[in-house]
Structure 1
Amino acid sequence: MADRVPNIHRSKLYEDLVQRLATQPVPGSDRKLFPTLREVLCFAALLGFSEGRRLPLDRSHGTEDISYQQFEADPAAEDLLWTLAVAESQDVEILREGEEGRCADIFEEYANGGLALIKDYFLRNGGEYPDRALLALLRERGYLQPVAAEPDLAAVTF
């Protein structure tokens, strides 16, 4: 099936955000929050799907793309693309040959919805530190539990 899958597109409306998430190091570290553009899009697609935010790409603003080979290089990313398509369509027939473009469209639209959500959150709450802002967004939406107070180490025995 992968022989016929088109490249994965993203709207240029969110290009600054995508680049920032993929290139800005986590403060105090030489590690990036998302090491690749593919991982940014996968995170955004999962967030978009979880939030029911499927937004068609506004192609009038232009698009950027990632070669489908980048998804093939990471089986988890490739599986995510197909899984979202099945979950959205509620039909495994979407995995048949010839439906690859439809699967890519679903992934792109959920990624676009997730990027819109992230951008809106950053605009409302500041995004100076994207790592902290994303954690706050995930906590606010109920995906992460609030951090409990420091444990009482006096109660720990060995």
Structure 2
Amino acid sequence: MATRIPSLPNIFRSRIYEEVVQKLATVPLPDSERRLFPTIREVLCFAALLGFSEQRRLPLDRSQGVEDVSYQQFERDQNAEFLVFLIALAEGGGADVLREGREQDCATVFEEYANGGLAIIKDHLLRAGGEYPDRALMGLLRERGYLVPTQAEPDLAKISF
């Protein structure tokens, strides 16, 4: 018997970070036709994971305006949909947060962690100059210990000429 996943409501993001979201999802990287993230949904998922990992949960300031991502965008990618529920579950609300009728609570937790993650990303992009968002995000991930170099620097002292 298959378990039914509750339907999500639309997911909102703050207009405060709209420039960052657009830079990551719609603006091609310098000297390329490639975008860093294929969709805004992926930007929000990355930001929510970063926000959760950094314990940065920021409520959306609706007075500054919000943009939404239709729930269908999350339903199209079951992993993205699962991520919304997984973050809400990991937040510590217990399994009750997954009960039918609590979908908005799950969406709010996700939105707030995504908002916190976008704040971290925006700050880092500003410090890095923002021209190369791909390099800035890689730097952020290295700085925070999420990316660890796989190859040690060679010991040049052992080399003789």
TM-score for the superposition, normalised by structure 2: 0.87
How many pairs were matched up? 152
Q: The residue matched to 2:79 in structure 1 has which SS? A: helix
Asked if 1 retains the 8 angstrom alpha-carbon contact of 2:30 and 2:131, the reply is: no
Q: Confirm or deny that 1:10 pairs with 2:6.
A: no
Q: Which amino acid aligns with 1:24?
A: V
Q: Confirm or deny that 1:60 pairs with 2:63.
A: yes
Q: The residue matched to 2:56 in structure 1 has which SS? A: coil
> What 5-or-longer segments of structure 1 have no aligned partner?
152-158
Distance in 1 separating the partners of 2:50 and 2:7: 26
Shift of 1:29: 3.5
Distance in 1 separating the partners of 2:152 and 2:99: 50
Shift of 1:126: 1.3
Q: The residue matched to 1:65 in structure 2 has which SS? A: strand
Distance in 2 separating the partners of 1:147 and 1:122: 25
Within 5 Å, give how 1:14-25 maps onto structure 2. Answer: 14-25=17-28
Shift of 1:26: 3.2
Q: The residue matched to 1:9 in structure 2 has which SS? A: strand
Q: The residue matched to 1:5 in structure 2 has which SS? A: coil
Asked if 1 retains the 8 angstrom alpha-carbon contact of 2:48 and 2:116, the reply is: yes
Structure 1 residues 137 and 106, CA gap change in structure 2 (3 angstroms):
same
> What 5-or-longer segments of structure 2 have no aligned partner?
155-161
Identity %: 67
Distance in 2 separating the partners of 1:23 and 1:57: 22
